[in-house]
Amino acid sequence: MGGIIAMTALVAAAALAWYEAPSGTPPRAAIFEIFAVTYLVIAIGRLPGFRLDRAGAALVGASLMLAVGGVGIDDISRVIDFDTVALLLGMMIVVGNLRLSGFFRLVTGWTVARARHPLALLATITLTSGLFSAFLLNDAICLVMTPLVADIALRLERNPIPYLLAVAMAANIGSVATITGNPQNILIGGFSHIPYSAFAAALAPVAAAGLLATMGLIAVCYPSEFFNSTTLRLVSARPPHVHGPLAIKSVLVVVVMMAAFFAGQPPAKVALIAGGFMLLTRIVRSERIYREIDWPLLLMFAGLFVVVAGFEKALLTPEVIDGIGRAGLGDTGVLSAVTAVLSNLVSNVPAVLVLRPFVGQTGDPQHAWLVVAMASTLAGNLTVLGSVANLIVVQLARAEGVAIGFWEYFRVGAPLMVLTILLGLWWLSVGAP
């Protein structure tokens, strides 16, 4: 039934695309349908009855926006934020080299395998996942850490679920700290023009407090696992294949890149230069690096830029934006609640794009963008479906024979989301620089 409804709406939108109002303006009904159905498919994750995923839905929506006249072909280069796409692409290339070099597995395995108590193991996993995710894309960190943590926990004959929850939740929370922690922060960095150092100064304390809250809540929810006198035996992680020269080169590039970010250099420029430099190697074929890039995510970004631009142009008049703004989005608490709900309905990247015109109308847009960055990221801990990082952990854990159910995640993730967002609101209201 869902597929029939979605397809009916798409067909109606396509039919309306050929209609032009007498005034020469594009039909608002068609534009609204295209926008609504695109976001509906993104919320569901696919078009029922068809092999169309989120990236495909964004591309189809963009093509229909072009057909209906909501966006002209000459507008494409203007409405797509190429700085955001360039920053994301450059970061993916750098992180891909780190993964292929074996650096993540080497460092994570070395630290995790030396914990002598379950609480120490939980703390090590949480801090490692959170720290890496603070500066590099959190999804990549979950790809590396999940199999390793599951393997060590099973060989230690411990319950692997709380440790895997720590990987996902810490990756979400740690990524709130900087512009390069996750895709939605990259978007917000491009929209807000907040300097990298100022963004980190405002939100890194929220990430640090959130990681402590993650350890505490997981420990409380699994008392038999952590509140005991168990001493863990020394178990080494399975030795990863490490390519020393590539690992050293990748780490040096990351250090220089982060220094340039904090020095105030344009993040997109720095990331692209770093990514291009990493491709200049005799060690790894370029095709291997290309396979590390999340091309569907880049495609979804480009498509959604077009879909949202058409929607804004036709339907979000200044009067509408002002009216919605007066409804309370200028209030920090209301804005964070709306962001959290919207992020769990349609995912955080689409939510940020929808909120963009309204955030710009608030009294302090930079502060409002920090609130959106905080709430959209921390909202990912509500359910298994709240973020891509969660889904990566759940899917890879299943491959290791560990099943993480919806309620297993929710009983920790829901209170953690509420607690961390409240901490974030407090910090941004009274403590942030």
Model confidence at 328, pLDDT cuts 50, 70, 90, reads low
Give domain status of residue 199, yes or no.
Answer: yes
Give domain status of residue 50, yes or no.
Answer: no
Least confident range of 11-25, 123-137, 299-313, 359-373: 11-25
In three-state form (DSSP H/G/I as H, E/B as E, the rest C), the secondary structure along 399-425 is: HCCCCCCHHHHHHHHHHHHHHHHHHHH
Summarised one tens digit per residue, pLDDT across range 177-187 is 999 989 899 98
Predicted confidence at residue 253, as pLDDT, reads: 93
Q: What is the CA radius of gyration of the chain?
A: 22
Predicted confidence at residue 274, as pLDDT, reads: 94
- The closest alpha carbon to 136, from 167, 102, 93, 100, belongs to 93
Helix axis angle for 295-315 and 28-44, nearest 10°, is 150
Polymer length in residues for the chain: 433
Q: Give just the sign of the alpha carbon dihedral 357, 362, 366, 371.
A: negative
Predicted confidence at residue 9, as pLDDT, reads: 45
Q: Which two tokens stand for residue 71?
A: 């966006």
Predicted confidence at residue 3, as pLDDT, reads: 42
Predicted confidence at residue 432, as pLDDT, reads: 60
Give domain status of residue 176, yes or no.
Answer: yes
pLDDT of 323 strictly over 50? yes
Helix axis angle for 348-359 and 183-192, nearest 10°, is 20
Please indicate whether residue 257 or residue 114 has the higher confidence score (pLDDT).
Answer: 257
Model confidence at 106, pLDDT cuts 50, 70, 90, reads confident
pLDDT of 40 strictly over 70? yes
Model confidence at 25, pLDDT cuts 50, 70, 90, reads low
Predicted confidence at residue 5, as pLDDT, reads: 42
Mean pLDDT estimate for the chain = 83
* Stretch 25-49: mean pLDDT: 78
Long-range Cβ contacts of 287-292 (<8 Å, 24+ apart): 288/100, 289/93, 289/96, 289/97, 289/100, 292/92, 292/93, 292/95, 292/96, 292/97, 292/99, 292/100
DSSP 135-190: HS-HHHHHHHHHHHHHHHHHHTT--HHHHHHHHHHHHHHHGGGSGGGSHHHHHHHH
- The closest alpha carbon to 208, from 426, 377, 372, 424, belongs to 424
Give domain status of residue 146, yes or no.
Answer: yes
Give domain status of residue 321, yes or no.
Answer: no
Give domain status of residue 112, yes or no.
Answer: yes
Give domain status of residue 426, yes or no.
Answer: yes
Summarised one tens digit per residue, pLDDT across range 69-98 is 888 888 888 888 888 889 999 999 998 898
d(CA 367, CA 194): 10
Least confident range of 27-31, 111-115, 168-172, 174-178: 111-115
Percent of the chain with pLDDT over 70: 87
pLDDT of 4 strictly over 50? no
Between the alpha carbon of residue 265 and those of residues 84, 190, 195, 260, the distances in Å are 15, 13, 9, 6
pLDDT of 327 strictly over 70? no
Give domain status of residue 68, yes or no.
Answer: no
d(CA 386, CA 346): 9
Predicted confidence at residue 321, as pLDDT, reads: 59
Predicted confidence at residue 16, as pLDDT, reads: 44
* Stretch 386-392: mean pLDDT: 87
Range of the structural domain that residue 255 is part of: 82-296+377-431
Summarised one tens digit per residue, pLDDT across range 373-384 is 999 999 999 988
pLDDT of 344 strictly over 80? yes
Model confidence at 322, pLDDT cuts 50, 70, 90, reads low
Predicted confidence at residue 424, as pLDDT, reads: 94
Summarised one tens digit per residue, pLDDT across range 208-258 is 999 999 999 999 999 988 887 777 766 665 666 778 888 899 999 999 999
Q: How many domains does the chain have?
A: 1
Summarised one tens digit per residue, pLDDT across range 119-175 is 988 999 999 999 999 998 888 889 888 988 888 888 888 889 999 999 999 999 999
